[in-house]
Amino acid sequence: MQPVLDCVFIETTTACTRRCDFCTHAYIDIPPHFMHESLFLKIIADLGEMDFAGRLAFYLNGEPLLDTRLERWLRIAKTRCPKALHFINTNGDLLTPERAASLFAAGLDAMKVNSYTGKAVERLEHLKGQLPRDERHKILHSDATKITDWSSRGGVVTTTPKRPRPYPDTLCPRPFRQLYITVTGRVALCCTDDQCSHPMGDLATQSVREIWAGPAFAAVRQGFHERDRVPALCYDCDLDPSYSNVEQVRALFAPACASGDTSTPDLDHQGRQAGASAHLQPSLSLSST
C-alpha cells in the first residue's frame, strides 16, 4: 500500500468535560494542555504548502469545544487549506445552537456528536431540531450509549474485555493514511498510541512533509509489508482497521442535500460509515502477519 495522507488529527487541547470509562482519560492523568498558537500556525502552513485536501480533524484526546480559539483557528485553516474537509468529533456537552452556528460560519464543514448518556442523546436531538436544515445536515449524531465494542486502546482501557488479536490478518491503513498530532506537536503512531510511545516525529523541529515521508513511518510501513515486524503496540491492538476516507465522509453529506432527505447521515465511533463495510480496499487483507 502506498502512503497517501488522507486525514490529519490536530489535538488542539487535551482538556475534557468528561472521564468516560472507555477512554484513556479515565485511566491516565492527562493534564489539560492547550496547543500553542505558533505550533498550530506552523502545522497549517505546512499543510497549506502541501495543498492538503483530506480531512482536517481538530481533536484527538480532548473535547474541542472547550477551546475558545476554535472558530478563529478554523478560519485560518479554511483560508490556508480550502480543499480540506474541516471536521470535529465532540461529546456535545458545550454545544448550543449559537455555538453550532458560529462553528459553521467559521468554516467547519461537518461535526460528529457522540452522546454518551441517554440524557445527552435527547438533548442533542432537541438541539438539532432547533437548527436550520443546512446546519442540521452537517451534524452526524451517534448514540454512543449503544456501543459495546470499545477498543482497549492497546490494553489501557480495562472495561473492554481483551480480545486476542481480532484483526491479525489485516494490514492497518492508519500509518499509510492518517497523521496524529498531539498537543505538543509530537506525532503518534495512531489513535491507539495516545501516549505517543511510538513517536513518528516532532513538529517543533520538523515539517509535516518530512515526518510523513520520514524514516519512522517508513520503518513502520515496511514492517507491515513484511508482516512480522509491526510495532509491539499493534500486536495488542483490537481497533477495527477499517475507516472512512475523506471521499466517503464527503459523500455522507451530498445525497441528503441533493435529494431533500431530512435524515442525518452517520459514522460509527471508529469513523466508518455506519452499516458499511468500509475496508479501504479488499486487497488490504493479508493472509497472515
Ligand X SMILES: C[S@@+](CC[C@H](N)C(=O)[O-])C[C@H]1O[C@@H](n2cnc3c(N)ncnc32)[C@H](O)[C@@H]1O
Q: How many CA atoms lie within 13 Å of 288's alpha carbon, on the beta-carbon side? A: 1
Closer to ligand SF4 at the Cβ: 137 or 272?
A: 272
**Residue 20 touching ligand SF4 (CB under 6 A):** yes
CB neighbours (10 Å) of residue 142?
A: 21
The residue count of the chain comes to 289
Answer for which of 55, 136, 138, 153 binds ligand X (CB under 6 A) is 153
Binding to ligand X, residues 227-286 (CB under 6 A)? 269-270
**Residue 40 touching ligand X (CB under 6 A):** no
19 binds, among ligand X, ligand SF4, none (CB under 5 to 8 A by kind): ligand SF4
According to DSSP, the residues that pair with 186 across neighbouring strands are: 202
Closer to ligand X at the Cβ: 67 or 207?
A: 67
**Residue 114 touching ligand X (CB under 6 A):** yes
Task: Please name which of 154, 119, 172, 208 lies closest in space to residue 289, comparing C-alpha atoms.
Answer: 172
**Residue 18 touching ligand SF4 (CB under 6 A):** yes
Angle in degrees, CA 183, 186, 190, rounded to 5 = 90
Over the window 125 to 144, marking each residue x when it contacts ligand X by CB under 6 A and - when it does not, the resulting string is -------------------x
What are the cell numbers at 116?
454518551
Three-class secondary structure assignment of 214-269: CHHHHHHHHHHHCCCCCCHHHHCCCCCCCCCCHHHHHHHHHHHHHHCCCCCCCECC
Closer to ligand SF4 at the Cβ: 23 or 124?
A: 23
Are the C-beta atoms of residues 183 and 32 closer than 8 Å to each other?
Answer: no
Binding to ligand SF4, residues 230-289 (CB under 6 A)? none
**Residue 55 touching ligand X (CB under 6 A):** no
**Residue 157 touching ligand X (CB under 6 A):** yes
* Interface region with ligand SF4, contact rule CB under 6 A, candidates 11-19, 101-109, 127-135, 261-269: 11-19
* Interface region with ligand X, contact rule CB under 6 A, candidates 15-23, 48-56, 199-207, 278-286: 15-23
**Residue 23 touching ligand SF4 (CB under 6 A):** yes
The torsion of the CA quartet 149, 154, 155, 161, rounded to 10 degrees, works out to 20
**Residue 90 touching ligand X (CB under 6 A):** yes
Q: How many CA atoms lie within 13 Å of 264's alpha carbon, on the beta-carbon side? A: 23
Determine the size of the site formed for ligand SF4 (CB under 6 A). Answer: 10
Q: In whole angstroms, give the CA distance from residue 127 to residue 125.
A: 5
Q: Please, which residues have CB within 8 angstroms of residue 20's CB and are 6 or more apart in sequence?
A: 26, 91, 116
User: By beta-carbon distance, which residue lies closest to ligand X?
Assistant: 151
Closer to ligand X at the Cβ: 22 or 180?
A: 22
**Residue 16 touching ligand SF4 (CB under 6 A):** yes
153 binds, among ligand SF4, ligand X, none (CB under 5 to 8 A by kind): ligand X
Closer to ligand SF4 at the Cβ: 63 or 238?
A: 63
Are the C-beta atoms of residues 184 and 34 closer than 8 Å to each other?
Answer: no
Burial 215-236 (b: 16+ CB within 10 A, else e): eebeebbeebeeeeebbebbee
Binding to ligand SF4, residues 68-97 (CB under 6 A)? 91
- Residues binding ligand X (CB under 6 A): 16, 22-23, 59, 61, 63, 89-91, 114, 144, 150-151, 153, 157, 269-270
